[in-house]
Amino acid sequence: MDRVALRGLKARGHHGVFPREREEGQTFIVDLVLGLDTRPAAADDDLAKTVHYGVVAEEVVDVVQGEPVDLIETLAERIAEQCLKHQGVKEVEVCVHKPDAPITVPFDDVTITITRSRV
């Protein structure tokens, strides 16, 4: 299986369990790795035979900016579901970063990484 990666998609969302997170929102960063067979697209040089990563990026941002959830695990699941709606995408790895998580000690980042497939 071939891989198409999108790294560092940024969007503001209102996800989290604390009222401040829901009210003020924060930046979430998403990394994606889409698993698909790119041979048909490459053979015919045809965008219609692969995944349009620009469209996927816009859809992921819409999910992050959309309905708030408590957990980044739920957010990652919603993003994976959206990516798998694309016919050619057989598998997706989603990593959601929450660099401004409400943690009381110094830290660089909090992430959840999930892998989902059609199988």
Q: CB–CB of 51/60 below 8 Å?
A: no
3-state SS of 52-99 is CHHHHHHHHHHHHHCCCCCCHHHHHHHHHHHHCCCCCCCEEEEEEECC
Q: CB–CB of 60/9 below 8 Å?
A: yes
Does 98 qualify as catalytic in the annotation? yes
- The catalytic position among 49, 85, 90, 98 is 98
- What is the set of active-site residues? 98
